[in-house]
Chains A and B, each alone.
Chain A
Amino acid sequence: GAGVSQSPSNKVTEKGKDVELRCDPISGHTALYWYRQSLGQGLEFLIYFQGNSAPDKSGLPSDRFSAERTGGSVSTLTIQRTQQEDSAVYLCASSLSGTGIAKNIQYFGAGTRLSVL
């Protein structure tokens, strides 16, 4: 597709359940990012992938959060034992990597709105 695709667009779950959020980046983009957008905290960085490895996981809020990327393409963000404070919009972005003006512009998906009841 032409843009970053995320699924599902909305997810309602019960407290304590695990959820998986998917991101399909722009073809050819080697860098992939996850952010979280919530009313109280704004937009926060979670994790960065270069290819299949994650050199920066510094934004993951707890060990209940994990992410992987396979084939240098699709990424999955998994939240285990969800809590109500995990309710937010989870945004994925991708970019070309390396130096240069265009290579670090991040293109965002529409997000997954997660509601934990």
Chain B
Amino acid sequence: ELKVEQNPLFLSMQEGKNYTIYCNYSTTSDRLYWYRQDPGKSLESLFVLLSNGAVKQEGRLMASLDTKARLSTLHITAAVHDLSATYFCAVDITGGTSYGKLTFGQGTILTVHP
């Protein structure tokens, strides 16, 4: 059974600081997604990582994938309050051949303080 584990589950940061969220998974996969969820809102797609060594960046967020270590990271640079949300990683083990059955991590609740 595929297990996806995120840590930390709760992250309280000061504005301007850097931090990393980790996502470990237990089964071979080369397709990993990061989503953001604001309270009471839908999940918003942030990044799709499709191969070993993939790195994607958008603004203050950068995601990477190491398929050999079965690890993805979401790095936050110089955090701002607007980044406060819950972040999920999700792994697809169907190989992306026809559909994406996602297994989600527990989510990391990020709070950025002034």
Contact = CB atoms under 8 A, between A and B. Distances in A.
Interface stretch (B16-24, B42-50, B61-69): B42-50
Interface string A1-45: 001100000000000000000000000000101010000001111
Contacts of B90: 43
Q: How large is the interface on A (under 10, 10 to 19, 20 to 34, 35 or more residues)?
A: 20 to 34
Contacts, number: 64
Given A43-B88, A48-B101, A104 B42 contact: no
Given A43-B104, A106-B45, A108-B42, A97 B33 contact: no
A114 interface: no
A28 B44 CA distance: 19
Sort chain B's interface into a size bin: 20 to 34
Interface in B53-86: none
A106 B42 contact: no
A48 B66 CA distance: 28
A87 interface: no
Contacts of A56: 99, 101
Contact of A42 (B41, B96, B104): B104
A107 interface: yes
A98 B98 contact: yes
A50 interface: yes
B41 A110 contact: yes
26 contacts: A4-B42, A33-B101, A35-B102, A42-B104, A42-B106, A43-B90, A43-B102, A45-B101, A45-B103, A48-B99, A50-B99, A55-B99, A91-B42, A91-B43, A93-B43, A95-B99, A97-B98, A99-B98, A104-B92, A104-B96, A104-B100, A105-B33, A105-B48, A106-B102, A108-B35, A108-B43
Given A97-B98, A108-B35, A108-B42, 13 more contacts: A42-B105, A42-B106, A43-B88, A43-B107, A48-B101, A55-B99, A56-B101, A99-B98, A104-B31, A104-B92, A105-B100, A109-B42, A110-B40
